[in-house]
Amino acid sequence: MSLDGEQRERTRGELATAYERAGWPVSRLASALNVGEDRVLAALAVDGAQPADVWLVRDALDAVLRSRGEEPGTWTELPESARASAEGWFGLRDAGEVARAVAAAD
């Protein structure tokens, strides 16, 4: 499944809000996730990013927020209810693994 232009824009806005709330620089997210900063930046921009990377950054931002006792991001196009389908389509990294990586980097 791919997102249309309106869905990409909404997702980009939701990622930007979560990124701002999390307060981690791109370099820290990339290091925690063991990926290049270019992949994090592409995921935040949504356009041209691998869908699995968009989910990866979404999960990392949620993990940062949850680690501080805050509510996770609001995800219109990337809700938990879509995770199983996305795992089948894109081969997502396990959300628990992402949370552990974020905790180790905190």
* Average pLDDT over all residues of the chain: 95
The answer to whether 18 and 68 have CB atoms below 8 angstroms apart is no
Which DSSP letter does residue 94 get?
P
For residue 48, the enclosing domain spans 5-105
What is the predicted pLDDT for the residue at 14?
Answer: 98
What is the predicted pLDDT for the residue at 47?
Answer: 82
Computed on alpha carbons and rounded to an integer, the radius of gyration of the chain in Å comes to 12
Domain count for the chain: 1
What is the predicted pLDDT for the residue at 39?
Answer: 97
Phi-psi region of 93 (alpha: psi -120 to 50; beta: other; left: phi over 0): beta
* pLDDT higher than 80, residue 1: no
The answer to whether 67 and 31 have CB atoms below 8 angstroms apart is no
